[in-house]
Structure 1
């Protein structure tokens, strides 16, 4: 059972999601990067990125097992929780037993998670009803574990599967009604994306309770622009991981090519 302090930390984490003054998360993927983010005075919380964690395990994101993800999360939690910083983790779809997965991360000191609506085994979009039910199960499990304010960032991949922004809004509203704290509408790793106008529509539809992934580079919405649009949360997914690996490769090439 979680401590009273853990639920207080969850409340603190929820309150950081303020439309127009968004929580900015630098996603981590191991204890070392978690320690770096946690040591920064400007860091208000720590979040993991499943794609980057999978890469450190030598597997593709879709192929990472629950055990691999939980082992990594446990190490990250050991670096973050003692600092009394909120930790939210990417749990993909929550795996086969979503309630047990939530119970396990709560036991590690986690106060929030990402939960997506694509089945990790079949790689198919879950039905509307199934996806909503899994959000409800996650909320229920967190309450049972002693963290009723556990914050779920419910991700929908409906756009990736050819759906419309209207369908994304329908799902997002249902996830919020089921107990999610925010919604993350994923446009895919390349191609479709989510346009500025669509971000505005999503902000209006969800009363600002929207997570947007920030892309590094020219042509993408900036923190300033996303703040003006009114989002509540900004994350970077595997963005920092990719920057780190590019620097590592460059340094290695320089060393080995000398």
Structure 2
């Protein structure tokens, strides 16, 4: 089953443009699957928030132990892959360690957890040097590629550069992303590229398919717009989870005032029960 799902996920990246929404637990993944998406991704932010932990920040803000550890993250990935029938791409952050060997182990664990793909980013979490040295970043992607090839399983490896998120230029983003593609990444991911001009430049200058993330702050570009620009894959990061937590915060604030109007827009118990009934096994 994992092999078939992985093949389907690879095929999604061959041409066109598709939306890959991000889940953080079994329930959110099942809801996205039920909406008809051909695959889902995990969001490290959503998983962290569901456990009451911070995500994607500098270590000085919350300490190195503040972010979710690899075993915890991969456990959630495994839970999600076991609960849905569609391919799942894992948010593997920076690979949970600097050394290429550590990244290789993370990729092996993602494969064992049933993931059909995964991203490795170059963000370090250190303010003095927010991105890994380019040569090391390339070695990390190369180690991930070698691990995938050795496993002999279809797997979409995504090289992510956080250059724009730390104040870098589009030119540096292109240079880093192309280096990651040359080192074996199947797709480049440049978070922070959200306007048409920047995205068009990346599509033109990159030597492989581009993933962009929408929903960081809300965006006027539609999926059709992104398709016309030449984007191959669109994710939404932790934006769905953040929107859910905003609703929770509003409900809590209203409850503190002693009213209950937040409940007027809830899903019914019956609808959720129907949605979350176990998948029926294939017959025939």
Fold conserved (TM > 0.5)?
yes
Q: In structure 2, what is the Cα distance between the partners aligned to 1:208 and 1:105?
A: 23
TM-score computed with the length of structure 2 as normaliser: 0.78
Q: In structure 1, what is the Cα distance between the partners aligned to 2:207 and 2:227?
A: 14
| Superposition deviation, residue 111 in structure 1 | 1.1
List structure 1 segments (4+ residues) > 6 angstroms apart after TM superposition. none
Which sections of structure 2, spanning at least 5 residues, go unmatched? 57-66, 260-284
**Counterpart in the other structure of 2:173:** 168
Match of 2:80 among 53, 60, 76: 76
**Counterpart in the other structure of 2:249:** 249
Residue by residue, what CA displacement relative to the aligned partner does 1:34-93 show, whole Å, maximum 9, x if unpaired? 1111223x210010011111111211114222122122212212212xx2x111010001
**Counterpart in the other structure of 1:61:** 55
**Counterpart in the other structure of 2:140:** 134
Are residues 228 and 135 of structure 1, via their aligned partners in 2, closer, same or farther at CA, if it must alter by over 3 Å? Answer: same
1:146 aligned onto 2:152: yes
Are residues 195 and 142 of structure 1, via their aligned partners in 2, closer, same or farther at CA, if it must alter by over 3 Å? Answer: same
TM-score computed with the length of structure 1 as normaliser: 0.86
Paired residues of 1:208 and 1:230 also in contact (CA < 8 A): no
Residue by residue, what CA displacement relative to the aligned partner does 1:103-151 show, whole Å, maximum 9, x if unpaired? 111112111001101125777210111111111111111222231x310
Larger-gyration structure (1/2): 2
Q: In structure 2, what is the Cα distance between the partners aligned to 1:218 and 1:184?
A: 18
| Superposition deviation, residue 225 in structure 1 | 1.1
Output aligned runs, 1:75-114, within 5 Å.
75-80=79-84, 83=85, 85-96=86-97, 97-114=102-119
Which has the higher relative contact order, 1 or 2, with Cα contacts under 8 A spaced 6 or more apart?
A: 1
**Counterpart in the other structure of 2:266:** none
| Superposition deviation, residue 226 in structure 1 | 0.7
1:34 aligned onto 2:57: no
Q: In structure 1, what is the Cα distance between the partners aligned to 2:51 and 2:24?
A: 10
Q: In structure 1, what is the Cα distance between the partners aligned to 2:143 and 2:8?
A: 22
SS in 2 for 1:61: coil
**Counterpart in the other structure of 1:117:** 122
Alignment RMSD (CA, Å): 2.1
Residue by residue, what CA displacement relative to the aligned partner does 1:133-184 show, whole Å, maximum 9, x if unpaired? 111111111222231x310121101223332211111111111111111111
